Chains A and B, each alone.
Chain A
Amino acid sequence: MTDFVSLENISKIFGPNLTTGDRIASKLGARVETRSIHAVSNVSLSIEKGETIGLVGESGCGKSTLGRLIAGILSPSSGRIILDGGPVIRNGAKVTTRVQTVFQDPFASLDPRMKVGETVAEGPITHGLTTKSDARAYAALWFERVGLDPVWLDRYPHQFSGGQRQRIAIARALAMQPDVLVCDEPVASLDVSIQAQIINLFLELTRDLDLTTIFISHDLSVVQHVSDRIAIMYLGQIVELGPVDEVYENPAHPYTAALFGSVPKLVLDDDELVHFDTIEGEVPSPLSPPSGCFYHPRCPLADENCATVRPEMTGISNSRSVMCHNYQQQLTKD
């Protein structure tokens, strides 16, 4: 298989937006924050056509930033993103409509003053996928595709529930006929019963339309359900990558193991007292990441080497890789 989407050493650095005044003040010795945040550092990733890749990690790990980079919403500070042989971004501007995004909050992502039919048709008209006169029928088609009644095309977003709005957001993304869909926490703001409906819709659509999907979520059970491969992120880096079942079964990175251990599971035994394998401490500030391996201050397997030498991404089988000096120790742990 050839790579459909490939990220080559992608980094994104957010510098502080210093005003002229700040700059002068800092020159004169005032305390002005001049450090920059490495939201994503040196991430390389190849995605095959039709694959769903789950991107997980805690707040601030850079998963949303990476999603936005792939979608071309943000421009990388260094590195390249190639989609089917062509660039996603050229000179800081997005040059393809083949990547579309579904955002977390369908209350914020739909224009409240625009009829939902117009919202769905706006992009396709601009990019010549349909004409103004055909727009209504075109939007109706996608409405039906996501399980909404086309008679609602003239309604406004506030007249819909959260689940319906997320369907509209999905219809808007799909109406652009993308090859790649970036879903940034698409079910996080929905109730459990509605969440199941949207996940089912998502499974059906990605299969029928042969979409390549980047599915970003903090909910590990959702990611496990929809993804083929999973990428675990910590402080801007992918620390483990592999087929979802294998990674769940036997995590190679101590952080992956700890993250899975923290997820509450449904208790069905009367006397079972759940014990959480909690991770010590909190995620360090990305403004001053630790030396060596970023995870070493919290890691139960850390040794002196981990505190000084930054680990490289290492292949451990032809489908899995991990960024850890002591992964063998983790793998052989029962």
Chain B
Amino acid sequence: MTETALSVKNLATHFFTRTGVIKAVDDVSFDLAKGEIMGLVGESGSGKTVTGFSLLGLVDEPGRIVNGSIKLKGKELTTLSNAELRHLRGREISMIFQDPIATLNPVLTIGQQMRLALAAHERITARAAADRSADLLTKVGIPSARARMNAYPHEFSGGMRQRVAIAIALLHRPSVIIADEPTTALDVSIQAQILQQMRGLAAETGTALIWISHDLAVVSSLATKLAVMYAGRIVEQGPTAALLRNPQHPYTAGLIGSLPAMTKAGSPLKQIPGTTPSLLSLPSGCPFAPRCQRATEICQRAPEMVTHGDRGWRCFDPVGQIDEVTS
């Protein structure tokens, strides 16, 4: 049995606003093994970022985790105090955000920021901190790391800044890193460099990764398993290649079909009609039913997650080859 790094069960995070309750994350469950990379895919507003924030205990008022459990290496996180969580954040579980210019401190040099991050969790001499920082910066692909540690964030390019953010996230060799669209703002050539490096680093350090993205191609080249979110729920999950080759949920199939690469150039793309529903007024049954061509009466009820081995989907009438999954 492989070691489980993170186990999430029935997680629900709701926001209690004046206009009503927003169920941003509802009944989300998944397991993540040591060193495993999971892709969390969905469109804007599907709840993927709030899921990431919930895992770190960073959900702000008026939101809160209303149900479920988050176990990090067997330790329950939802019942911890803020002080206890702060002790874990950055050390056992950390996050990389989409926009590194917003997460790095503009008035401190990279070296100073890395030393602060190290000193937050352990007693370390300035010299040792500098050694470790330089070592990591080299690993994430920053040339002449020692010299660059005296530079401020604005002196780095977008791609280099994101590498610095990744190096900081890796400082304490956390068990889990949540990466929220870290390459979305970057050019493809830089994205490719970073994806290549992340895969190596995860394998080398044994850190499990949750890679949040709206881009199926990006996660498919990185993650060994996928979870597809729609309107706050995971609607399908499973091993990457199997899921993409033989999707069961009509939404997953629709997403894959709407990629330009899946259609002959110049001919119309398959499209999912309509738009994502507002989380304030979700349909009572399956949230995808209003956009689904296969919806019938039964879809007025909310589908439970159906699991077969390592595959799972929330649909009464899956679109894929079922035999291939169940046999």
A residues whose Cβ falls under 8 Å from a Cβ of B: 58-59, 161, 163, 191-197, 199-200, 203-204, 218, 220-222, 224-226, 244-245, 258-259, 261-270, 272, 274-279, 282-283
Q: Given A200-B268, A224-B260, A264-B220, does the pair A193, B43 have CB atoms closer than 8 Å?
A: yes
**Is A197's CB under 8 angstroms from B240's CB?**
no
B residues whose Cβ falls under 8 Å from a Cβ of A: 43-44, 157-160, 187-193, 195-196, 214-218, 220-222, 239-242, 244-245, 254-256, 258-263, 265-266, 268-272, 275-276
Q: Given A194-B275, A196-B258, A203-B268, does the pair A218, B220 have CB atoms closer than 8 Å?
A: no
Which B residues lie within 8 Å of A283 (CB)?
187
**Is B242's CB under 8 angstroms from A196's CB?**
no
A112 CB, nearest partner CB in chain B, Å: 20
Which A residues lie within 8 Å of B276 (CB)?
191
Q: CA A270 – CA B324 in complex, angstroms?
A: 14
**Is A264's CB under 8 angstroms from B275's CB?**
no
Which A residues lie within 8 Å of B265 (CB)?
224-226, 244-245
Which residue on chain A has the smallest CB distance to residue B41? A192
Q: CA A103 – CA B166 in complex, angstroms?
A: 32
Q: Given A200-B269, A265-B217, A267-B240, does the pair A192, B193 have CB atoms closer than 8 Å?
A: no
Q: CA A277 – CA B192 in complex, angstroms?
A: 8
Which B residues lie within 8 Å of A245 (CB)?
265
Which B residues lie within 8 Å of A203 (CB)?
266, 268
Which A residues lie within 8 Å of B191 (CB)?
262, 264
A50 CB, nearest partner CB in chain B, Å: 13
Which B residues lie within 8 Å of A224 (CB)?
260, 265
Which A residues lie within 8 Å of B244 (CB)?
266-268
Q: Given A195-B258, A225-B263, A266-B217, does the pair A58, B271 have CB atoms closer than 8 Å?
A: no
**Is B221's CB under 8 angstroms from A59's CB?**
no
Q: List 30 A-B contacts (CB under 8 A).
A: A191-B214, A192-B214, A192-B215, A193-B254, A193-B258, A193-B271, A196-B258, A196-B272, A199-B260, A200-B268, A200-B269, A218-B188, A221-B261, A225-B260, A225-B269, A259-B188, A259-B189, A261-B192, A262-B189, A264-B215, A264-B220, A264-B221, A266-B220, A267-B221, A268-B244, A274-B221, A276-B196, A278-B189, A282-B157, A283-B187
Which A residues lie within 8 Å of B158 (CB)?
59
**Is A58's CB under 8 angstroms from B187's CB?**
yes
Which B residues lie within 8 Å of A282 (CB)?
157, 159-160, 190
Q: CA A195 – CA B245 in complex, angstroms?
A: 22
**Is A58's CB under 8 angstroms from B261's CB?**
no
Q: CA A221 – CA B43 in complex, angstroms?
A: 19
Q: CA A58 – CA B186 in complex, angstroms?
A: 9
Which residue on chain B has the smallest CB distance to residue A224? B265
**Is B241's CB under 8 angstroms from A272's CB?**
yes
Which B residues lie within 8 Å of A268 (CB)?
241, 244-245
Q: CA A277 – CA B195 in complex, angstroms?
A: 11
Which B residues lie within 8 Å of A261 (CB)?
192
Which A residues lie within 8 Å of B262 (CB)?
266
Which residue on chain A has the smallest CB distance to residue B268? A200
Which residue on chain B has the smallest CB distance to residue A263? B188
Which residue on chain A has the smallest CB distance to residue B196? A276
Q: CA A261 – CA B44 in complex, angstroms?
A: 28
8 A-B pairs with least C-beta separation: A196-B258, A262-B192, A276-B192, A225-B260, A191-B43, A274-B221, A58-B187, A264-B217
Q: Which residue of B217, B218, B271, B276 has the most chain A CB atoms within 10 A of its CB atom?
A: B271
Q: CA A283 – CA B276 in complex, angstroms?
A: 37
B280 CB, nearest partner CB in chain A, Å: 14
**Is B192's CB under 8 angstroms from A266's CB?**
no
Which B residues lie within 8 Å of A199 (CB)?
260, 269
B250 CB, nearest partner CB in chain A, Å: 12
Which B residues lie within 8 Å of A275 (CB)?
196
Which residue on chain A has the smallest CB distance to residue B242? A270
Q: CA A244 – CA B260 in complex, angstroms?
A: 14
**Is B43's CB under 8 angstroms from A196's CB?**
no
Which B residues lie within 8 Å of A204 (CB)?
268
Q: CA A163 – CA B196 in complex, angstroms?
A: 33
| Further 12 A-B residue pairs, CB within 8 A, beyond A196-B270, A266-B261, A283-B187 | A58-B189, A193-B254, A196-B272, A197-B271, A226-B265, A226-B266, A245-B265, A259-B188, A264-B218, A266-B216, A268-B241, A279-B189
A24 CB, nearest partner CB in chain B, Å: 27
**Is B159's CB under 8 angstroms from A192's CB?**
no
A220 CB, nearest partner CB in chain B, Å: 7
Which A residues lie within 8 Å of B268 (CB)?
200, 203-204
A110 CB, nearest partner CB in chain B, Å: 18
A275 CB, nearest partner CB in chain B, Å: 8
Q: Given A192-B43, A265-B261, A266-B256, does the pair A220, B217 have CB atoms closer than 8 Å?
A: no
Q: CA A186 – CA B151 in complex, angstroms?
A: 36
Which residue on chain A has the smallest CB distance to residue B243? A268
B178 CB, nearest partner CB in chain A, Å: 20
Q: CA A268 – CA B221 in complex, angstroms?
A: 10
Which B residues lie within 8 Å of A263 (CB)?
188, 192, 217
